[in-house]
Each structure stands twice: as C-alpha cells, then as structure tokens.
Amino acid sequence: LNGAGQANRWRSVAPEDTRRIGAALAAELLPDGVLLVEGDLGAGKTVLAQGVASGLGIAAEEVQSPTYTLVREHRGDRVRLLHLDLYRLDADDVAAAGIEETLAETGVKIVEWPDRLAAVPRGAVSLRITLLPNGERDIERLAR
C-alpha cells in the first residue's frame, strides 16, 4: 500500500542523511508500527533508529547500539519506542525471549537483525541498508 508520497529508495552520504530518512518514516510507524532494518554490522541501522526516534519526539542521542541489550525502551511525550537488536539470538532464543509478544506491544518497535525472526510481523515496514564501496549507504524499502 505505497502512497504516492512514500519514497522507496534513498542514498545517504552521511549519518545526518540516514537520520533524516529515519525521521521521515516515523509518521507511517505511528502509533504501533514495526520497522525491520536489515544490514551488516556498521551499515547504519542504529543511526537510522536515532532518526526514527527524533521523528517521534525522542532525543536521538538516547538511542544507542543495543547489541548487549535485547530491548531498550525510550519514552516520548506522545509514544514510546522499543528498540530491539537480535544480533546475538537464534530462532530458538527469539521464541524463548518472547520477542513476538514484544512486537505486539503498544508503541513503535524497531528491529535490527530481523532475519532472526521466525515470521515477518504483519504490516511491518522493512528496510535494507547496504554500505557501498564508496562509503555511501543505499537504503531501500523491501516489498513484503
């Protein structure tokens, strides 16, 4: 259901670009949406999550790499943000950790390493960030 105003592909040359792209996605994630962000380590998934946070009225600096923390919660005035990093999990861990339940909670959810999930949550917005040889990032919306 891509509205005419929804971009599907972006080129980012600096972290600020990636944050702006994230911020622009915030509106379509309200109030309870899920954003899945694929990409290698260092691609810019957490930077993009910072942009989404700022678009939700949450200080971008609050959002840090949660690699050692499965879920981090950030509270804004209007909405809360749950930021998940599944890097260290396998499918069994995901089930045991109750991740599917977390994704059904109220608020906006952002998932790094969504390939660990057994199933794509219904209605999720999916992105893939690719680090290009010249250091720029290609960010594309994936059709589900």
Ligand X SMILES: Nc1ncnc2c1ncn2[C@@H]1O[C@H](COP(=O)(O)OP(=O)(O)O)[C@@H](O)[C@H]1O
Residues engaged in binding Mg ion (CB under 5 A): 45-46, 65, 112
Alpha-carbon distance 17 to 35, whole Å?
18
Q: Is 137 in the site for ligand X (CB under 6 A)?
A: yes
The distance of closest approach from Cβ of residue 72 to ligand X in the complex, given in angstroms and rounded to an integer, is 13
Q: Is 45 in the site for ligand X (CB under 6 A)?
A: yes
Q: Which two tokens stand for residue 69?
A: 């923390």
Q: Is 42 in the site for ligand X (CB under 6 A)?
A: yes
Q: Which residue has the CB atom at the shortest distance from ligand X? A: 44
Alpha-carbon distance 119 to 143, whole Å?
15
Q: Which amino acid is at 32?
A: D
Residues in the chain, total: 144
- The smaller minimum CB distance to Mg ion, of residues 6 and 142, is found at 142
Q: Could you tell which of Mg ion, ligand X, none binds residue 18, using a CB distance below 5 to 8 A set by kind? A: ligand X
Alpha-carbon distance 33 to 104, whole Å?
9
Q: Which two tokens stand for residue 30?
A: 């309200």
Can you give the binding site for ligand X, defined by CB under 6 A? 12-15, 17-18, 39, 41-47, 65, 112, 137
